[in-house]
């Protein structure tokens, strides 16, 4: 039986539903080329700022039984370098997406304006987990800031664009955010970023496991899958049907990908598992997802996308 796992996000066509999350193995040209040669359906570059950043002191990433914790501090080469890389990455014949994370609204708008001039770039993902104003929460946890950022980006962005969201835990927050998104020009929403400010402790050494921020950091990996699934599901219920949803959080197997698509995801991104396994993860997920679909008698993703059953 032939199984078709192609999909689309906005106007972009993807050969498979999985690609990298912004963060792991997508900062240097070498890493982005590895993603190009892999079975990832798109190439997404690490969130960029105006100026290059070294990021936080090491160790700034650690694995634990439930997943990973990080406080990378936005290490990246600066947006100008990524702009120059996209024409080289074009040879891999898959959509190229730029994650943008200006440290202020002004910076974000500057980067978006410049990126829109790069023909080889297909879409922009705005990382709303950035601290735009000191003393205020990250943009995505401040609905007034979010409304302003989306309005301003919408005014100037000439390419398909979307936002990367942190997890929400309260239905009123989902409703507020969905209203803002439905009134904006986003063509996709990516949820979720890591769970903010977790703490992993090594009991033997009686010590934190990462150096920055007293050991606090964003939590990813298997333990966050139920939160990722709930966020995809809730936004699928609340967002306009022409806004695509990219799911991310705790995907390890083809079965996890299947669950995200059932919840309503059009595509998924792989973070912690990509960091741990390397780019061969995408070929494995392809085999496993096809296996699940064959067993269930599905021949395309549309046959079960969003069709989660209630009890
Ligand atoms: O530390 C990071 O570079 C980082 N890690 C994540 O898990 N998610 C992110 O969005 C980022 C970049 C943004 C920020 C956390 C540094 C503000």
Q: Where are the domains of the chain?
A: 7-56+76-195+224-303
Q: What is the pLDDT of residue 265?
A: 99
Name the pLDDT band for 236 (thresholds 50, 70, 90): very high
* Ligand 1 near 74 CB (within 6 A): yes
For ligand 1, what atom is nearest to the CA of residue 75? Answer: 3
Q: What does the alpha-carbon distance between residue 136 and residue 255 come to, in Å, rounded to a whole number?
A: 38
Nearest to 153, CA basis, from 187, 186, 120 = 186
Measured at the CA of 230, the angle between CA 246 and CA 131, to 5 degrees, comes to 65
Q: What does the alpha-carbon distance between residue 208 and residue 54 come to, in Å, rounded to a whole number?
A: 22
**For residue 285, pLDDT beyond 80:** yes
pTM: 0.98
Ligand 1 center–CA 129 separation, angstroms: 7
Shortest-distance Cα residue to atom 11 of ligand 1: 74
Q: How far is CA 67 from CA 74, 92, 103, 138, 248, in A?
A: 20, 30, 27, 23, 13
Q: In the predicted model, what is the mean pLDDT of residues 118-135?
A: 93
**Average of per-residue pLDDT values in the chain:** 98
For ligand 1, what atom is nearest to the CA of residue 127? Answer: 10
Mutation probe of ligand 1 site: the residue of 22, 73, 134, 227 with most atoms within 8 A of C-beta:
73
Name the pLDDT band for 130 (thresholds 50, 70, 90): confident
Report the top-level CATH class of 7-56+76-195+224-303.
Answer: alpha beta
The count of other CB atoms within 10 Å of the CB of residue 122 is: 21
Task: Output phi, psi for 161, to 5 deg.
Answer: -145, 160
Ligand 1 center–CA 181 separation, angstroms: 22
* Ligand 1 near 23 CB (within 6 A): yes
- Residues with catalytic annotation? 130
**For residue 1, pLDDT beyond 90:** no
**For residue 169, pLDDT beyond 80:** yes
Q: What is the pLDDT of residue 248?
A: 98
Q: In the predicted model, what is the mean pLDDT of residues 79-88?
A: 98
Shortest-distance Cα residue to atom 17 of ligand 1: 130
Burial per residue of 20-35, b for 16 or more beta-carbon CB atoms within 10 angstroms, e otherwise:
bbbbbbbbeeebbbbb
């Amino acid at each position: 039986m032939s199984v078709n796992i192609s999909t689309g996000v906005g106007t972009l066509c993807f050969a498979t539903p999985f690609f990298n999350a912004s963060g792991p193995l997508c900062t240097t040209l070498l890493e982005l080329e590895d993603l190009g040669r892999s079975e990832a359906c798109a190439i997404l570059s690490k969130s960029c700022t105006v100026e290059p950043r070294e990021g936080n002191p090491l160790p700034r990433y650690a694995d634990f039984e439930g997943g990973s914790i990080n406080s990378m501090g936005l290490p990246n080469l600066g947006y100008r370098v990524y702009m120059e890389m996209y024409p080289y990455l074009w040879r891999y014949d898959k959509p190229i997406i730029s994650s943008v994370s200006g440290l202020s609204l002004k910076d974000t708008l500057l980067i978006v304006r410049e990126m829109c001039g790069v023909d080889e770039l297909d879409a922009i993902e705005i990382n709303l987990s950035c601290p735009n104003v000191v003393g205020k929460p990250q943009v995505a946890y401040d609905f007034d800031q979010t409304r302003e950022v989306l309005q301003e980006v919408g005014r100037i962005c000439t390419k398909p664009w979307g936002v990367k969201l942190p997890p929400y835990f309260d239905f009123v927050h989902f409703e507020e955010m969905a209203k803002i998104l439905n009134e904006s020009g986003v063509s996709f929403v990516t949820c979720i970023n890591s769970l903010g400010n977790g703490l992993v402790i090594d009991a033997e050494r009686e010590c934190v496991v990462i150096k920055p921020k007293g050991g606090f950091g964003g939590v990813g990996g298997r333990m966050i899958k139920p939160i990722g699934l709930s966020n995809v599901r809730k936004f699928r219920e609340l967002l306009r049907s022409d806004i695509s949803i990219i799911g991310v959080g705790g995907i390890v197997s083809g079965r996890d990908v299947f669950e995200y698509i059932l919840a309503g995801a059009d595509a998924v991104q792989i973070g912690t598992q990509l960091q741990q396994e390397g780019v061969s993860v995408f070929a494995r997920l392809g085999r496993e997802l096809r296996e699940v679909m064959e067993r269930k008698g599905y021949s395309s993703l549309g046959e079960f996308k969003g069709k989660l059953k209630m009890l």
